Amino acid sequence: MLLEDQDRDGWDVSEIDEGRVLVERALRMRHLGPYQLQAAIAAVHADARRSGEIDWDQIAGLYDELLRRRALAGDRAQPRRGDRAGGAGSRTGSP
C-alpha cells in the first residue's frame, strides 16, 4: 500500500512512541547498525501526520548512511589477494 493511501489514524501511537524511544536511545549510544538506521527511517515516516509532511531530506540522509555502511561492510568482506591460505602471494599457496 502506498504511503499516501495509508490511514494513519489506525496506527498504534503507543507502539510508535515506544519505538521512537528505543531509536533515540540507540542514537544517543552511538550504536548505529543497519537495524537502527532502518528504525530511524521508519520513525521519520511515523512522525508525519500525512504523507505530504514527511521529511524526505532526513530520510535520504539516513539511507545514504545505511548504504555507505553496507558498502564499507562489503569492502571488509571481500578477501584481498594473498589474505587467504592458498591465495596468490600467501605463504602456503603455490607460486
Report the predicted TM-score, pTM, of the whole model to 2 decimal places: 0.67
- The pLDDT of residue 92: 46
**Domain regions of the chain by residue span:** 13-76
Give the 3-state DSSP-derived string for the chain, with helices as H, strands as E and coil as C.
CCHHHCCHHHCCHHHHHHHHHHHHHHHHCCCCCHHHHHHHHHHHHHHCCCHHHCCHHHHHHHHHHHHHHHHHHHHHHCCCCCCCCCCCCCCCCCC
pLDDT tens, residue by residue, 25-82? 888 888 788 988 999 999 998 888 777 889 999 999 999 999 998 888 776 655 656 6
Select the more confidently predicted residue: 3 or 28: 28
pLDDT band, very low/low/confident/very high, at 84 (cuts 50, 70, 90) = low
- The pLDDT of residue 18: 92
- The pLDDT of residue 9: 83
